Amino acid sequence: MEDNFKFQGRRKLLALELKKKGIVNKKIIKSIESIPRHLFIDPGLSEQAYIDKALPIESNQTISQPYTVAFQTQLLNPKSGEKILEIGTGSGYQTSILCFLKTDVYTIERNHNLFRSTSKLFNKLNINPVRFKYGDGHKGLIDNSPFDGIIITAGSPIVPKDLLKQLKIGGRMVIPIGKKIHIMTKITRISINDFKRETFGNFKFVPMLKKKD
């Protein structure tokens, strides 16, 4: 499947829709306009790629709703050259947005099927995270820490302690917290021991699970 004018037109409309819903960051809007989301999903679903909703991907997982991806990215507010850790690579769509924003992306996926297929897709589309690791994201990436930003794209009942430790002072974490319903939360590291927490409404994610499979 290639890109074409029809998909490009639909992306423009999707970007406009997200603007209306409150995505004000111009670079993020540009990334939505530019990245061919239909290439991150099953070709059988490509007609639905630019509707603002989550869609199923391999292994019972989902590609997040475009609004959610844009909203989380806007909260994270990544600057060019910053080091960002993503937990839950999934389809790789969020990763490619972070790459589009010229950040240095480190990303972790716990499901091996997804890890394999998304690795291939990154090669094919020439998307280049600094590191793509197969593993459980709860532990983060101590060797590559600290990070300017950490974005968690699965819902977690708790804030993983190891991840908090891997934030720079001034660094931000965006994490949907909860069991069934997830409260979008931004945690900013103010000092070694102090963290500021802000919440941004309810969302629904697939769960952040322990261990690999």
Residue 27 phi, psi dihedral angles, 5° rounding: -70, -35
Q: Residues near 193 by Cβ (< 8 Å), separated by ≥ 6? A: none
Enumerate long-range contacts of 169-175, CB under 8 Å, 24 or more apart: 171/146, 171/147, 172/75, 172/76, 172/77, 172/148, 173/149, 174/72, 174/75, 174/76, 174/149, 174/150, 175/150, 175/151
Q: Could you give the residue numbers annotated as active site? A: 64
What is the nearest approach in angstroms of ligand SAH to the Cβ of residue 121?
Answer: 11
- DSSP run (H or E) holding 5: helix 5-20
Under 8 Å between Cβ of 204 and 182: yes
Give the residue with the Cβ less far from ligand SAH, 27 or 170: 27
Give the residue with the Cβ less far from ligand SAH, 151 or 187: 151
* 154 in contact with ligand SAH (CB under 6 A): yes
Compute how many residues bind ligand SAH; rule: CB under 6 A. Answer: 23
Interface with ligand SAH (CB under 6 A), residue from 82, 104, 136, 148: 136
* 206 in contact with ligand SAH (CB under 6 A): yes
Give the residue with the Cβ less far from ligand SAH, 90 or 171: 90
Q: How far, in Å, CA of 65 to CA of 52, rounded?
A: 6
Considering only the stretches 26-34, 45-53, 135-143, 171-179, report the one whose residues sit in contact with ligand SAH under the rule CB under 6 A. 135-143
Residues 60-119 that bind ligand SAH (CB under 6 A): 61-64, 87-88, 90-91, 93-94, 108-111, 114
Q: How far, in Å, CA of 64 to CA of 52, rounded?
A: 9
CA atoms within 13 A on the CB side of 150: 34
Give the residue with the Cβ less far from ligand SAH, 61 or 74: 61
What is the nearest approach in angstroms of ligand SAH to the Cβ of residue 154?
Answer: 4
Binding site for ligand SAH (CB under 6 A): 61-64, 87-88, 90-91, 93-94, 108-111, 114, 136-138, 153-154, 206, 208-209
